[in-house]
Chain A
Amino acid sequence: MTDASINSTSTAHEAQFGDYFALLKPRVMTLVVFTAFVGLLAAPVAVHPFVGFCAILFIAVGGGASGALNMWYDADIDAVMKRTARRPIPAGKIAPQEALAIGVALSGFSVVLLGLATNWVAAGLLAFTIFFYAVVYTMWLKRWTPQNIVIGGAAGAFPPMIGWAAATGGIAVESVLMFCLTFMWTPPHFWALALFMRSDYDKAEVPMLTVTHGRPATRAHILAYTVLLAVLALALAFTDVGGPVYLAVALVLNALFLKGAFAIWRRDETAAEADNYLAERRFFKLSLLYLFAHFGAILVEAGLDRFGLGLSLGGLT
């Protein structure tokens, strides 16, 4: 019997390369790549472009590895939710054990290579992020507490800090505030989604705030977090990575975001069902623009700084 004959069983869904790539959650990876890139470029220490490229790549692979581990553990939940039923494991394209092996291998691989390419502070932060997302969020909090989104959001918030650490070898007020920006943004973003995707989370028995504390409480939580987010987002304008461009973007988007959160808070389920959750859907769409625009503005400020056109508003650092 040859090796080929051992693996020759024909399956209806032969996994292709794209299915393995889908295990790494490429859409989430876009956010990871973008925010890590901003963190790296906003840092006051210049990095060789090739080292910078590798750092972003390894951070993305690490993020992807944690996504594969999440898909391995959550395959049962994914199978019952409409949004996730077509993922490679519930779709029967990839075996759960295969996803676990890929997740573990890529985790170790990305951390070690990031450490060798940049420094061990950045590698340590990446390792902690993978651990936090795969173990603390996926295995522990997600099925246990309605605050799952709040605490789990930390995992998605680490990439700009890792990018910053890759350049500077440390942690600073700016990188912590960039972390806070994504961290505080995550709950309103996901709770708005949970409000208009209600049946999905109910079916999967994931303790979302909408299920455990009711929908009016979720609406109030969205408003509270949006207010806190606005404070942190504006604070970033007065650090070394901020400036007038960032401040202008933050003022406009936070005003719109607060307006949206206020509209969500004011209405009840009857009003929401009447227009098919229009305000919640709008808020969710705006939340996507919100994050990309804030980090985009930090990137613009970093670019202006490089050309000696940066204008710091000072204050916090």
Chain B
Amino acid sequence: MSFRPEHEMHTRRKGRNIGVGLVLGALIAIIFGLTYVKITSQGFQTPASATEAQG
């Protein structure tokens, strides 16, 4: 079974689909980057250790 486009809609919407794909890719990169920055920052505590510190 091939994944060959079956409809002219695929070519008509190619630009839009590529754009949405790039936006989703960028979103993944941003969430990953933010997570990395947050957990490597000096003040970072895991929820468990933060609770222990309070108790």
Contacts and interface: CB of A to CB of B under 8 A. Distances in A.
Interface residues of A, number: 19
Given A8-B7, A17-B20, A51 B30 contact: no
Contacts of B7: 4-5, 8
Grouping DSSP codes into helix (H, G, I), strand (E, B) and loop, the B interface class, with mixed when no group exceeds half, is helix
Contacts of B4: none
A93 B52 CA distance: 56
B15 A16 contact: yes
A8 B6 CA distance: 11
Contacts of A57: 30
A7 B41 CA distance: 47
B1 interface: no
A270 interface: no
Contacts of A15: 16
Contact of A50 (B6, B9, B16, B34): B34
B12 A14 contact: yes
Contact of B9 (A7, A16, A54): A7
A214 B33 CA distance: 54
Contacts of A17: 15-16, 18-20
A45 to B, nearest CB: 13
A17 B13 CA distance: 9
Interface string B30-44: 100110010001000
A268 to B, nearest CB: 50
Contacts of A8: 7, 9
A116 B34 contact: yes
Contacts of A51: 34, 37
B15 A50 contact: no
Interface residues of B, number: 16
B20 A117 contact: no
Given A4-B9, A17-B15, A50 B20 contact: no
Given A4-B7, A10-B12, A14-B13, A50 B19 contact: no
Contacts of B41: 48
B37 A48 contact: yes
A20 interface: yes
B17 to A, nearest CB: 9
Contact of A54 (B13, B16, B19, B30): B30
A21 B23 CA distance: 11
A16 B37 contact: no
A50 B12 contact: no
B19 A117 contact: no
Contacts of B12: 10, 14
A16 B34 CA distance: 30
Contacts of B19: 16-17, 20-21
19 contacts: A4-B6, A4-B7, A5-B7, A8-B7, A16-B19, A17-B15, A17-B16, A17-B18, A17-B19, A17-B20, A20-B19, A21-B19, A48-B41, A50-B33, A50-B37, A51-B34, A51-B37, A54-B33, A57-B30
User: Which A-B residue pairs are the 5 nearest by beta carbons?
Assistant: A17-B19, A16-B15, A17-B16, A8-B9, A50-B37
Given A17-B20, A18-B15, A117-B34, 10 more contacts: A5-B7, A7-B9, A8-B7, A10-B12, A15-B16, A17-B16, A48-B41, A50-B37, A51-B37, A54-B30
